Amino acid sequence: MNAAAPVATKRSRRPIPWTVIPFAAILTALVLMAIFAPYIAPLDPNAQNLLARLKAPGHEARGAVYWLGSDELGRDVLSRTVYGARVSLLVAFASVILSGVFGSVLGMIAAFYRGWVETIIMRIVDIVLSVPAILLAIITVAVLGPSLYNVVIVLALTRWPRYARVAYGQTLSVANMPYVRLSRFMGAGWLRLLGRHVLPNIAGALIVVATLEFGLMVLFEAGLSFLGLGVQPPTASWGAMLSTGRNYVATAWWIATFPGLALFLLVLSINLIGDHARDRLDPRSR
């Protein structure tokens, strides 16, 4: 009698939930809209036409159609919404990269060296985390002055402790692994140990944090611009458009509605994708 052949087992990969796919498509569309803004926007976002001010969506003036209406200066809301996506995504991407790199490096160094290095770095992390991030950002921007570059720097300086704490905890568990201790015993330097052995094993947790922080950076940029401390006029920004549109809610609802809807869809898509990434990269859920 023939023995039963062994059945080869294959690790099952969970399919992507169908609820995530529409939001991934929305996020992709918003990113492409920001990249190709000069080719998508029908009009110059800063061009004023006082004869067409506060016109409803679909109004035509001087041969131009304002598909999403016009603002108080006669500027096209559609074009400004498209260019506003570029500002929000640029600020969020740059601040996440800067804060992620800076915080992750400090967290790994604190967990690797321990002692007084760990004490100093983690006490600084505790101090920064004890202050509300938006309050710290408002104070810092008020001191440095409102501009696009200052907003990026401020958001990076206020959010790096989140990465430092995650990198610190993850590095503590990885640093005690046998292969890491063996590499250290064989004379590997700290840069090689952290870059080749530690970072690849904690990258999943850091990516999840970065994904969730991305949506928060978009909200912070919009909040600072709403208060007049972010991107300055005439540059189009969703937060600044919301700030202007609140004065015309009763007469020109479209000024605040469309950038607010774009902001809502962007943050919602990023958060849902971040939650899915956390579930996929969490070893406990496998």
Quickly tell me which residue has 């501009």 as its tokens.
147
Q: What is the pLDDT of residues 47-70, one digit of tens each?
A: 888 888 888 898 887 778 889 999
**d(Cα 93, Cα 99) in Å, to the nearest integer?**
10
Structure tokens at 130: 């004890």
User: Does position 46 have pLDDT exceeding 60, yes or no?
Assistant: yes
* Dihedral angle computed from the Cα positions of residues 248, 251, 253 and 255, in that order, rounded to the nearest 10 degrees: -50
pLDDT for res 10: 43
Per cent of the chain over pLDDT 70 is 86
pLDDT for res 7: 43
Q: What is the pLDDT of residues 233-246, one digit of tens each?
A: 888 899 999 999 99
Q: What is the pLDDT of residues 181-204, one digit of tens each?
A: 666 666 666 666 777 678 888 888
Which of the pair, 16 or 116, is modelled with greater confidence?
116
The three-class DSSP label of residue 60 is strand
Q: Are 159 and 213 in contact (CB under 8 A)?
A: yes
CB atoms within 10 A of CB 142: 12
Q: Are 243 and 225 in contact (CB under 8 A)?
A: yes
Residue 205's pLDDT band (cuts 50, 70, 90): confident
**d(Cα 26, Cα 134) in Å, to the nearest integer?**
27
Q: DSSP letters of 151-162?
A: HHHHHHHHHHHH
Could you state, in order of their start, the residue ranges of all structural domains in the chain? 20-285
- How far CA 37 is from CA of 20, 31, 41, in Å, comes to 25, 10, 6
Report, at the CATH architecture level, how domain 20-285 is classified.
Answer: Orthogonal Bundle (1.10)
Polymer length in residues for the chain: 286
Q: DSSP letters of 212-240?
A: HHHHHHHHHHHHHHHTTSSSPTTS--HHH
**d(Cα 103, Cα 100) in Å, to the nearest integer?**
5
Q: What is the pLDDT of residues 85-97, one digit of tens each?
A: 999 999 999 999 9
